[in-house]
Amino acid sequence: MDIYVVQQGDTIDSIAEKYGVTVEKIVIDNGIEHPDHLAIGQTIVIVYPKQTHVVQQDDTLQSIADTYNVSVIQLLRNNPFQSDRESIY
């Protein structure tokens, strides 16, 4: 986890790209209501994974959770964009 201080010229997209996380993750983790209106000096918590998984054929959220000894809820917390999808890629 890092704490980033917004600088002049920063956008939510540029910060996400810098840390290799999604804009959605930054917005959710920080409760940002207006991501297009960052304030210079605003602090943003950047939570990024210590480990990643490349989805293989026949993987499910449960099988991935079992592989890493975590709960499906934790996977969804770390990958909120997966919560409304029928399939994982």
User: Which CATH number do you get for residue 14?
Assistant: 3.10.350.10
Please check whether residues 42 and 15 belong to one and the same domain. Answer: yes
pLDDT tens readout for residues 35-68: 999 999 999 999 877 788 999 999 999 999 999 9
Please check whether residues 74 and 39 belong to one and the same domain. Answer: no
Please check whether residues 40 and 56 belong to one and the same domain. Answer: no
**Nearest by Cα to 24 from 10, 13, 14, 9:** 13
**Domain limits at 20?**
2-46
> In terms of pTM, does the model score above 0.85?
no
pLDDT at 9 (0 to 100):
97
Which residues, in sequence order, are CB contacts of 59 under 8 Å at separation 6+? 88
| pLDDT of 32 over the 90 cut | yes
